[in-house]
Amino acid sequence: MKRILILAYTDLKMDPRPYRQIKSLGNDFEVHSAGTSKAGIEYQFHLIKKRSFINELINLPMLKFGFYDSFYWDKAKNRFCLEMKNISFDLVIAHEIRLVPLAIKIAGSAPVILDAHEYSPLNFDDDPFWRFFYKDYYIFLCSKFIPKVQQMITVSKGIVQEYKKNFLVEPVLVTNACEFKDLKPNPVGSKIKLLHHGIVSSSRSLEIMLDMMDFLNSDFELYLMLVFRDSTRFHWKRLVKKASKNPRIIFLKPVPREILVEYSNQFDVGLAFFPPNNFNLKFALPNKFFEYIQSRLMVLVGPDYEMSPLVRKYQFGVVSKEWTAESMAKSLSRLDKDEINRLKTNANVAALELNSEKQMEVLKKVVEGLI
């Protein structure tokens, strides 16, 4: 049986994209994984440690002086290469450009697939700190290592086009669609329950959702299920403080990823509203969008490039005219409960098409074409 390594700098049980790949490819291949924590479904797991936050800060000046290789090859990566030297792979999938140099070294003569996720040279281009220290580094990684991989996949049409334009490659589109779930729409109850789940990030302008509640009547309740890191804890506290003024904004304790879709079925409207504060948000087609569909929710999006065409095509939601709280509220206020129920029923139809089973077939064809 052919052996594949899936390499990601994440907790693989919590990160849906590599987790889906491990699960799907594991039916036909011996799938090994490497990350900060195992998925629990791989053939064998290999731990790779990230450098500490303090160590990262200490080494940042290297990036300003162009010592990219010295910055990249820290003790953890070198140790990982030594640990893996006696295992041969038929193919390696590297999640994000930052792991491609490591993947190439481990793969030897085997092909490497870059799962770029988003557009790395503009990852957090709205953040002055990221632009100052990291932007040139990520451009360097893309320029040097994209030509060395045998295939590349990414998550949305706009991001595919940007890589084609700037790096002369032909990425394959594999969206973040999640697994099909055999659920039915839950009829709207006495309140219209709005849901947003995801990470806390200043780039995502989550405050707009809180402000939206000032324009909605008492029929609406907003539920937020947010995950934050140490670096975003302060921003999360600001959101909680701001929301405390409105009793119709409720914060939920995050549930395990494997039950998120089923848990969310009790709500009515999924909010996937991301003002285009950076390039990747402009062309976002995120996990949560597809999770809302599988939860059989009506979906509210902004006037974006990737989600709104699907909302209009399958008619399972509404598109706000502007990137404002008032515009969001107007889009919702026009709907009565019967219309929301109708849109949720349309999500039931869209769920049959917009699921990971179809996307994993695309990935399998890429893998089989290389090995």
Q: How confident is the model at residue 198 (pLDDT cuts 50, 70, 90)?
A: very high
Amino acid at 170: E
Q: Residues 312-336: what's their mean pLDDT?
A: 97
- Cα angle 210, 225, 255; round to 5: 170
Can you tell me the mean pLDDT for 328-339?
96
* Residue pointed to by tokens 């930052």: 98
Beta carbons within 10 angstroms of residue 338's beta carbon:
10
Least confident of 45-54, 277-286, 307-316: 45-54
- 132 — pLDDT class (breaks 50, 70, 90): very high
- Position of tokens 């709907």? 335
For range 124-131, the mean pLDDT: 93
Q: pLDDT tens digits for 242-261?
A: 989 899 999 999 999 899 99
Give the DSSP letter of residue 117: -
The helix or strand, by DSSP H or E, that contains position 311, with its residue range, turns out to be: helix 307-314
Type of residue numbered 221: E
Pairing of strands 112-115, 192-199: unpaired
Contacts of 259 (CB under 8 A, 6+ apart): none
H or E element that contains 282: helix 279-282
- Write the CB contacts of 340 (distance below 8 Å, at least 6 apart in sequence): 188, 192, 268, 269, 298
* Phi, then psi, of 225 in degrees rounded to 5: -120, 95
With H, G, I as helix, E, B as strand and everything else as coil, classify residue 76.
Answer: helix
Report pTM.
Answer: 0.93
Q: Order of strands across the sheet with 112-115?
A: 44-47, 30-35, 3-7, 91-95, 112-115, 151-154, 172-173
pLDDT value for 65: 93
pLDDT for res 106 = 97
Residues 113-139 have a mean pLDDT of 96
Q: What is the mean pLDDT of residues 22-46?
A: 96
Q: Is 98 helix (H, G, I), strand (E, B) or coil?
A: helix
DSSP classification of residue 125 = T
Is 271 strand, coil or helix?
A: strand
How far apart are the C-alpha atoms of 32 and 67, rounded to whole Å? 32
**What is the arithmetic mean of pLDDT over 106-133?**
96
pLDDT of 326: 97
pLDDT band at 228 (very low <50, low <70, confident <90, very high): confident
* pLDDT score of 232 more than 90: no
> What is the residue-averaged pLDDT of the chain?
95
In angstroms, the CA 316 to CA 300 distance is 9
Indicate whether 155 pLDDT > 90: yes
Are β-strands 30-35 and 44-47 bridged in parallel, bridged antiparallel, or unpaired? parallel
The CB density around residue 302, as the number of other CB atoms within 10 Å, is: 24
Q: What is the pLDDT of residue 231?
A: 80
Kind and range of the H or E element at 91? Answer: strand 91-95
The pLDDT tens digits for 270-286 are 999 999 999 999 999 99
Q: At what angle do helices 75-84 and 100-107 cross, to 10 degrees?
A: 20
What is the mean predicted confidence (pLDDT) over 31-39?
96
Question: Would you place residue 9 in the very low, low, confident or very high pLDDT band (cuts 50, 70, 90)?
Answer: very high
Q: What is the spatial distance between Cα 357 and Cα 317, in angstroms, rounded to a whole number?
A: 23
As a whole-number percent, the residues of the chain with pLDDT over 70 amount to 100
77-110 exposure pattern, b = at least 16 Cβ within 10 A, e = fewer: beebeeebeeeebbbbbbbbbbbbbbbbbbbeeb
